[in-house]
Structure 1
Amino acid sequence: MAIGDPIIAFDSLESTNKTAAELLGLSKVQHGAVIMAREQTSGRGQRGRSWTSVAGDDLMISIVLRPDRLRADVQFELSKIAALAVSEVVGALVGGAVRIKWPNDILVGRNKICGILIKNELIGELVMTSILGIGINVNSTEYPEDLVATSLRNETGRTMDLQIVLADLCRSLDNWYSRWEGGGDLSMAFAERLWMRGRWAQFLLDDHPTLARPVDVDRHGRLIIEQEGGEVAAYGLDRLRFAPR
């Protein structure tokens, strides 16, 4: 089934990811189904952060995937698919440089325009089902002071049709997923879009301020960085994160 078939729309939900998980538990959704809400009252991003949005302004969806024999140790492939699809769609609309901030934010310049949150169900060493939660700032224009963000409307000066953005996103997701499913390697495309790649940035490594530059992301989803002394190593979110701006 193609991604985006069917689209299940709601006026208001606590969380599209939560509803997708509930429907999965009832075996009522197929691969490629999209759960969409005009309003999300308890959306969550990475590290449990709340996801702020005005009803009807932004695109808030969750996509159900049933990958075929995806090993748990390389489940970051699904993050790559989501990030590449969003960056492709946003880049085409804003006509500017769009980057993927590890692990799963999409930036225009230095401003966040999209957050991605993925929940996988594992059985043994395999990913049986996955829920890709994607929130794109489309028509919102104001954000909390502590959030460095932007939207498609802010970047283009135009109000966007959410249904058109959704259709473009579903097509792109389906294309990237099919490429991966067919054995295509997404690593180079992801690395080319990696924010701050090859440039010095401030990190917190084991909660200690660290100057390093991103090199790549390994097959397990860990960020490979080079520190000032030349040491190159890969770290996961449990040890490494970008320092707050």
Structure 2
Amino acid sequence: MITPIPFQEIIEKLNIPAYKYFETIGSTNTTALSWLEEGAADGSIVFANHQQAGKGRKQRHWVTNPGSAIALSIIMKPTQQEKEYLQFFSAVAALALVQVLQEKYQITAQIKWPNDVLIQQRKCAGILLEAAWHGQELAGIVVGIGVNLFPASVPPAYLVQFPATCVQNHTHSSISQFDFLGELITAFSNYRTNFNFDNFHNQWENLLAFRGERVYIIENDESHISGTLLGVEFNGDLRVLTNDAKILTFSAADIQLRPTNDVWEK
């Protein structure tokens, strides 16, 4: 397999300890988890130009068309301090992506709880956190990040549960797949190095999509609860004021979040 020179240049510039590049792969997260169990170094990455079975929440899958997107998995071997905040690293990755979009491409983006990034209320990225264990001991985590860069990455409407878009549709700046990769890895590494929970939580809430707006919650793909999205609890749960003036919290495993004006409402 020939690794593209621009990709190699980004790897060298960022001092990535190890990488696996694939022209075509099933899932970067699956490969990264196996590599982690084999002893991959902290900060190693898996990147695919074409991903055939990307992984999302609730066992959802998607395809990354060749050259159209970022399909990246970052291997982390958390420090003792980081282990206290493991569940938040999907939001950390989302913040890193929002920063890149704003600073490099002048695009305003928001974080749709718990793990998506939206541009103009359309999904441009998804993040999936997975852990590897050796018995009761945590071997590490994999932060999987998928970003739609170009129009070819946007799936047909009938295949998605939420409206989708791509970065190129919202900027006049030229986009390089590998430059964007480098910018994203750099931003994530900086957030990780300088992590402060209070600052992180404030940024997350400030960038929370649909905050202060009416939303509905789909629990277990069945029952609906409507209310106003208030924010995120310190444990990462979503906080909602219901129509009957009750404040309820929801964990990511329980629900899907939709705005009440969602044209995709079923």
User: Is the pair's TM-score, using the shorter chain for normalization, greater than 0.5?
Assistant: yes
CA distance in 1, matches of 2:68, 2:193: 30
- Corresponding letter in the other structure for 2:97: V
**One-letter code of the match for 1:49?**
R
Once structures 1 and 2 are overlaid, which stretch shifts more, 82-91 or 102-111? 82-91
Q: 1:242 to 1:123 in 2, by over 3 A?
A: same
Residue equivalent to 1:108? 119
Per the TM alignment, residue 3 of structure 1 is displaced from its structure 2 partner at its CA by 8.1
How many percent identity over aligned positions?
A: 22
1:79-94 equivalences in 2 (<5 Å) = 79-94=90-105
Matches within 5 A, 1:96-135: 96-121=107-132, 127-135=138-146
Cα 1:188–1:128 shift into 2, 3 Å: farther
Please say if 1:17 is aligned against 2:29.
yes
Cα distance change of structure 1 residues 217 and 162 upon mapping to structure 2, 3 Å threshold = same
- Give 1:124 shift: 8.4
Residue aligning to 2:228: 213
**CA–CA distance in 2 between the matches of 1:58 and 1:238?**
27
Q: For residues 61-111 of structure 1, give each alpha carbon's deviation from its aligned partner in whole angstroms, at most 9, with x where no partner exists.
A: 000011112576742221221111111112334423211001100000111
Aligned twin of 2:252 = 237
- Helix, strand or coil: the match of 2:61? coil
Q: Deviations over 1:37-73 (max 9, x none)?
A: 1111111111111122211111100000111125767
Partner-residue secondary structure (3-state), 1:136 = strand
Structure with higher helix content = 2
CA–CA distance in 2 between the matches of 1:140 and 1:47? 25
The question of 1:227 aligning with 2:242 is answered yes
Contact 1:3 1:32 (C-alpha < 8 Å) held by counterparts: no
SS at match of 1:198: coil
Of stretches 225-234 and 119-128 in structure 1, the one that deviates more from structure 2 is 119-128
The separation in 2 between residues aligned to 1:145 and 1:56, in whole angstroms, is 21
Gaps of 5+ in 2: 1-13, 259-263
Q: Deviations over 1:109-168 (max 9, x none)?
A: 111000101102357887541100000001234421233111112222555211110111
Given the two structures, how large is their TM-score scaled by the length of structure 2? 0.82
SS of the residue corresponding to residue 55 of structure 2 reads: coil
Q: Which amino acid aligns with 1:81?
A: V
The 2-side partners of 1:228 and 1:124 are apart by 45
2:20 to 5, 8, 32: 8
1:163-242, aligned counterparts within 5 Å? 163-180=178-195, 185-205=199-219, 207-242=222-257
TM-score if structure 1 supplies the norm length?
0.88
* Whole-Å separation in 2 of the counterparts to 1:172 and 1:215: 27
42-51 vs 91-100, which moves further: 91-100
Cα pair 1:71 1:127 within 8 Å, conserved: no
SS at match of 1:17: helix
Give the corresponding residue for 2:9.
Answer: none
Q: Which runs of 5+ in 1 are unaligned?
A: none
Q: How much does 1:241 deviate?
A: 1.9
Question: Structure 2 counterpart of 1:166, which letter?
Answer: L
Partner-residue secondary structure (3-state), 1:169: helix
Check the 8 A contact 1:76/1:219 in 2, yes or no: no
Query: Cα RMSD between the aligned structures?
Result: 2.4
Consecutive aligned runs of 4 or more in structure 1 exceeding 6 Å deviation: 123-126
SS at match of 1:55: coil
The corresponding residue for 2:11 is none
1:63 aligns with 2:77: no
Given the alignment, which residue of 107, 120, 144 partners 2:156? 144
Q: CA deviation at 1:169?
A: 0.4
**1:52 match: secondary structure:** strand
